[in-house]
Structure 1
Amino acid sequence: MRCDIVIAGVGGQGNVLASRILARAAMEYELPVQTSEAIGMAQREGVVMSHVRMGAGNYGSLIPNGGADVLLGFELAETIRGLDKIKNDGVVIANSYTIYPVSVSLGISQYDPVGLVDYLKKNTQSLYLFDATALASQAGTVKATNIVMLGALEALKLLPYGGDHLKEVMLNMIPQKLHEINLKAFELGQQAVGGA
């Protein structure tokens, strides 16, 4: 089974760690996997887009426009920026949480969350939209937003490997002291889309 996933967000949201967890899980499941990241100029709150390609038949680490099976959107505006990557029948899992760019703080540009949500609803066929950052906070830290999103992805059964395998890999990649928070975050993500 092939699965191409784009993760769109901003720096500091754990985008790269999420892509590494997905890729490591594929490798340990003995699937071919390729990854790539495009990271913005700023470490925090700069644009970050990761590509994870799992399964045979991929001829490059970048997913072409219209080629992604799944778009994981960690931030609302960045989800919309990533929409051109998704297949017509692809699945969008989006965090409704917004991070206002510096240009908005400076009064140079505007950010309209309501308009962005409307646009997202009108331009996606299969959308799961929820506040993953609030769920991560409920689990113990907003830094677990990426794990909430992975839980949602797993619950939709879109991965070529099972949820127990993904959780095991996740726990092997994060410090022991953070296991309880991240397991809770994963579970809350599953529940957000009607799973587990």
Structure 2
Amino acid sequence: MDINMIIEGYLQKASILQEAMPKLSLEKTISNNAFAEKRSDWQKDALLAVKRDPAVLEAKVTVKDQSVFNSLMDLEPPKKPTGFQPRNTPEARPRLDFDNKMCMERAALLSLSSTQFSLLLKYVDTLRQQRMSSQKQIECGFCKNNRQPEVWYTTHALKDAKGRVRCPILRSFVCPQCGSTGDRAHTISHCPRRK
């Protein structure tokens, strides 16, 4: 992933958003100065938003360069926003919260240094590996390959840590060549007597 592509995409979206803003009825209530102040607050809180992301907090990564890790942790706490305060209308509030979060996420990505960005990518990679390993543990390959519904094959694993068959469908199967069933059950293609 190239940071320049992210920045270019963000700038294009920002220019489109700025053109569309006068058309929005909600934007008419916000002065340009208040919008600029809010944007600067988002940029200040951008890295904090990344740090508070549950995915980043759950990642179990060992950081080799401790100075990079310390620089991420020594940031200032967020300041209370001043200026623009949104109206508490039922239809405007959820959309405004969503827009605030999207702007904070974009600002967070743009404000990261290359070192911080690479550290964030390491977090993402670790989370992806953790998710894939846990997904393999709770998915039965036998049921998945035999087109069972996802609701079924995600309820159990094919084998346990000791290599015993856990899949109830495969456990009930009797190999026609060797007669194995239960803990040592297998299909004909995986039979040890197969030549």
Q: TM-score range by the shorter chain?
A: under 0.3
Higher RCO structure, 1 or 2 (CA under 8 Å, sep 6+):
1
By percentage of residues, which structure has more strand?
A: 1
Higher Cα radius of gyration? 2
